[in-house]
Amino acid sequence: MKKIFRRKKQVKDNKYSWFDPRRLFATRATSDCRLCRGVKTLTHRLAQLPERLRLWLLQKRQRPLNERNLIYQFHVRNYPGSRNRSYMVHVPPGYNGRGAVPLVMVLHGCRQTHLDIRQVSGFDAIADREGFIVLYPYITSYSGFRTRNCWGWWFKNEITPGRGEVEDLWQIIEEVKGYYHIDPRRIHVTGLSSGGGMAVAMMVVHADKIASGAVVAGAPYSETARAVSFVRFYKGMFKPVGKIVRAMEDAMGPYKKPPPIMVVHSHEDETVNIQAAKNIRDSWAACHQLDLQQPAVTSSGTTGETHWEHIRYRGGHRQTLIETLFLSGPGHGWYGGAPGNYSYPEAPDISKMMWSFFNTHVHEESARELSTSGLRVESVSMSQAHTA
């Protein structure tokens, strides 16, 4: 009896409940109970097992094809909405780290991964020829009700400065800048569908750092999920352009000018109506006080069975601030690339057109900061890199 009461007193002193399995080991001091510590450690590791197993399987499934296509892991940061993510970096064969090179971030769409958009866009081949680095983030995990692998362009918490996916993506860029010699004046972003909507958010929230961008079948900044056509005959509901502009100005803060943009969309897109592209164009024009009634250059043509019209709008410095490429024929996807998930190869090669657009834009504020600080960034071409 004395032993039973003594055991009960020890359980009470150690503040273990009568049904706690650790009471079996309460006859020893907690600090001396190796078995208790082992149980705690095992419990902690078992709790982490699903996440560790998921990351391990992801790494196994996404092994780099060669030394120029590398997978990296981005670890959660201490701001709201940050998550563990993975991303792929494609390095052109002539890169040697001596000269700064441009960076192009390419965001996948819903029901895609970074590997899908890498395949259909064909940016690797352009990067190898032109000498820039391509970054393919993978959403990896997410919260909220959404279609598989969608970037959350319609969730306020994901597109607000300093939090969520829009901040994770910029921190991934910062991480890549730590690994490679990136020209800070020549950082560009593009994406398809939900990736296009997130590319728009990146250009708005990080307007003071991104040189230019492009959006394919995406949505305006701060737009709601009602813009997406979930059924065939629903054309979507869109915010007034004025409301979009006010949201953009709030997100940009004192930097009121979003970077130059190229908007690509199809009239036959039954997932995101082409009105979304027109609202992106109009909201950008309002921020830059640009007259859309006087385009600088208009061209049109037919590629395969796809008819297209390409319009350029210039600003006060004779620089193209807005370009639109509106197509007739294909549906919702990437145009002119390789066959694959959400791809329409029989169309103009928008990846080549995007690079031509990106290559003419340098971020003015970043260039000015470099010049005033006395720093010099050397940008190299592939011919220079091969001979270095």
Mean pLDDT for 201-218 is 97
Determine the average pLDDT of the residues in 210-226.
97
Whether residue 33 has pLDDT greater than 90 = no
The whole-number average pLDDT for the span 1-18 is 45
Evaluate if residue 216 carries a pLDDT over 90. Answer: yes
Q: What is the mean pLDDT of residues 343-359?
A: 97
Give the pLDDT confidence score for residue 316 in this predicted structure.
72
Residues 27-47 have a mean pLDDT of 51
* Cα angle, residue 297 at apex, residues 296 and 298 outer, rounded to 5°: 130
Average pLDDT of span 166-177: 98
Pick the CATH number of 53-373 from 3.90.180.10, 3.30.200.20, 3.40.50.1820, 1.10.10.60: 3.40.50.1820
> Which stretches of 299-363 are DSSP H helices?
350-358
Token representation of residue 289:
């006080």
- Give the pLDDT band of residue 371 (cuts 50, 70, 90): very low
More confident: 9 or 109: 109
pLDDT at position 254 = 87
Average pLDDT of 203-222? 97
> At residue 27, what is the residue type?
T
Residue 41 is predicted with a pLDDT of 56
pLDDT category, 124, cuts 50, 70, 90? Answer: very high
Q: Based on C-alpha coordinates, what's the Rg of the chain? A: 26
Task: Give the mean pLDDT of 217-227.
Answer: 97
pLDDT (average), residues 332-342? 95
What pLDDT does 315 receive?
83
Q: Please say if the pLDDT value at position 317 is more than 90.
A: no
Given a cut of 60, is residue 11 above it in pLDDT?
Answer: no
Residue 220 and residue 198: Cα distance in Å, rounded? 9
Query: What number is the average pLDDT over the span 180-184?
Result: 97
What value does the mean pLDDT take over residues 249-273?
A: 94
Q: Residue range 311-330: average pLDDT?
A: 91
Greatest CA span in the chain, whole angstroms? 98
Amino acid, res. 183: D
Q: Which of 57-66, 232-241, 253-262, 326-335 has the lowest mean pLDDT?
A: 57-66
Task: Assess whether pLDDT exceeds 90 at residue 92.
Answer: yes
Average pLDDT over residues 8-19: 44
Residue 238 confidence class, pLDDT cut points 50, 70, 90: very high
Chain length of the chain: 388
Mean pLDDT lowest among 32-36, 211-215, 329-333: 32-36
pLDDT at 253 over 50: yes
Question: What distance in Å separates the CA atoms of residue 349 and residue 109, rounded to the nearest whole number?
Answer: 18
* 314 vs 4, more confident: 314
* Domain ranges, ordered by start, for the chain: 53-373
- Is pLDDT of 77 > 60? yes
- In this predicted structure, what is the pLDDT of residue 234? 82
pLDDT above 80 for 384: no
List the structure tokens of 135: 């970054």
**Is residue 111 pLDDT above 80, yes or no?**
yes
Please report the pLDDT score of residue 63 as a whole number.
45
Q: What is the DSSP string of 136-184?
A: EEE-----SS-STT---TT-HHHHSTTSHHHHHHHHHHHHHHHHS-EEE
